[in-house]
Chains A and B, each alone.
Chain A
Amino acid sequence: MTLADVVRLLEAEVLVAPADESIKVAAGGAADLISDVLAFVAKKNTLLITGLTNPQVVTTADLLDLTGIIFVRGKKPGQDVLKMAQQRGLPLLRTHLHMYEACGILYKAGLRSSRADQDDDNDFD
């Protein structure tokens, strides 16, 4: 799956565009707690699905080398967050869908979980 596929599937708006729309999204994870994100993301090319829009979510994504973030329920972060993401080359999307719906659509389309015990070929090494 690519980021362009995510945009299409979730009817998303691109807030910060990726350098390359064909960038691979190999796994997904959803959380509204930063420590949960730090605990569960064990895959490369992970997309974070969240309702958090504060600067720390960008810092977290940067530290974990996430592929991008999609904000649910139409949430839009402030200019400071958009600027941080631009500076870090981190794609940001938003969808009007709720987290449960966004997760369900992506899972049904084949996007795997970012859990460490699934699809081990894609683990960090």
Chain B
Amino acid sequence: MTSTNSYDLSLPVKGRCFVTAGQAASKIKRTLETFNLPPKLVRCAAICAYEAEMNIVTHACRGQVGLRVTEKAIRIVAEDEGPGIQDVDLAMKEGYSTASQEIREMGFGAGMGLPNIKRCADELIIDTYPNKGTRVEIIIHLQTNGG
């Protein structure tokens, strides 16, 4: 695979549907496992995809998670139609969450989603628009030292 020969995948995510939650991340992980990539990077990408997917499920009406794999990087883009993030700096702090009690009782809303993504990703770009939605772009480099 070369940088001009990329692999793309786009998966829809239903908001508030905890039955299908995680399916997009599982599909992304299974897909990445076919590319003979370092297991640690596949694992990082799976965690990023799952957290991004769960953010859509927890907060948004609907969205999608996209995967692009090139020779240089794994790129995951999660886009949603939802309330947006009021304060991105606060959302990046561990433990801060606006999730409801119902969602917390299911084991989510720990306020670790975006911090977990940041920990696993090489680049994290968040674009958010109040009452419209959020776009989260995650990049995990496959090459180091410019190789």
Contact = CB atoms under 8 A, between A and B. Distances in A.
Interface in B2-45: 18-19, 21-22, 25-26, 29, 38-40, 43
Contacts of B26: 59, 62-63
A65 interface: yes
Contacts of B112: 33, 35-36, 38-39
Contact of B39 (A33, A55, A60, A125): A125
Describe B's contact surface by its main secondary structure: helix
A38 B38 CA distance: 18
Nearest to B44: A124
A64 B43 contact: yes
B51 interface: yes
A62 B33 CA distance: 13
B19 A55 contact: yes
B110 A34 contact: yes
Describe A's contact surface by its main secondary structure: helix
B106 A38 contact: no
Interface residues of B, number: 26
A34 B107 contact: yes
B39 A39 contact: no
Given A63-B26, A63-B50, A56 B119 contact: no
Interface string B97-138: 000000000111011110110010000000000000000000
Nearest to A51: B107
Interface of B: 18-19, 21-22, 25-26, 29, 38-40, 43, 46-47, 50-51, 54, 106-108, 110-113, 115-116, 119
